[in-house]
C-alpha cells in the first residue's frame, strides 16, 4: 500500500510539472536537424513550432564561441514557422541560438548545432 501511494504521488507531481510546459512549444521541424553535418548550408534556417510564438532573438556562434553577424531582425508577428536567412559560413561547427516568446508571455530558449564540412 505504501508503495502504491508513493507511485501515485510521483505520477501526480509529473502531471503538475507537465501542465505549464504545454504552453511552451518547442521546435517540431527544421530544415537543418540538430547536430547535422552538411556539405552545403541552406540559404536559410527554417524551423517550425507547434504553436505560434514570437521570435525575439536569433544568433549564430562559432565553435569557439564567437558571434557571427547575421543581421537578424525579429519578425513583428508571432508565427509557427520562421525562415532566418543564413550568412555564408566557412567550414566549422556552429550553434544556432534563439529565444521565443510563448503566447502566455514566457520566454523560451532553443538551440541547434551544425557542422559545415
CB nearer to Cu ion: pick between 106 and 111: 106
Report in angstroms how near the CB of residue 99 gets to Cu ion at its nearest.
14
Report in angstroms how near the CB of residue 61 gets to Cu ion at its nearest.
26
CB 57 within 8 A of CB 98: yes
28: cell is 517540431
Tell me the C-alpha distance between 66 and 62, whole Å: 5
Report in angstroms how near the CB of residue 19 gets to Cu ion at its nearest.
10
CB nearer to Cu ion: pick between 71 and 105: 105
CB-based closest residue to Cu ion? 106
CB 83 within 8 A of CB 46: yes
- For Cu ion, the binding residues (CB under 5 A) are 23, 104, 106
CB 74 within 8 A of CB 59: no
Amino acid at each position: 500500500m505504501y508503495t502504491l501511494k508513493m507511485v501515485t504521488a510521483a505520477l501526480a507531481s509529473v502531471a503538475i510539472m507537465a501542465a505549464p510546459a504545454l504552453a511552451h512549444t518547442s521546435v517540431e521541424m527544421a530544415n537543418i536537424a540538430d547536430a547535422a553535418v552538411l556539405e552545403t548550408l541552406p540559404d536559410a534556417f527554417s524551423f517550425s513550432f507547434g504553436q505560434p510564438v514570437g521570435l525575439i532573438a536569433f544568433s549564430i556562434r562559432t565553435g569557439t564561441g564567437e558571434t557571427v553577424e547575421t543581421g537578424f531582425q525579429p519578425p513583428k508577428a508571432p508565427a509557427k514557422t520562421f525562415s532566418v536567412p543564413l550568412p555564408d559560413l566557412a567550414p566549422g561547427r556552429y550553434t544556432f541560438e534563439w529565444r521565443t516568446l510563448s503566447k502566455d508571455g514566457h520566454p523560451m530558449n532553443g538551440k541547434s548545432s551544425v557542422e559545415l564540412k
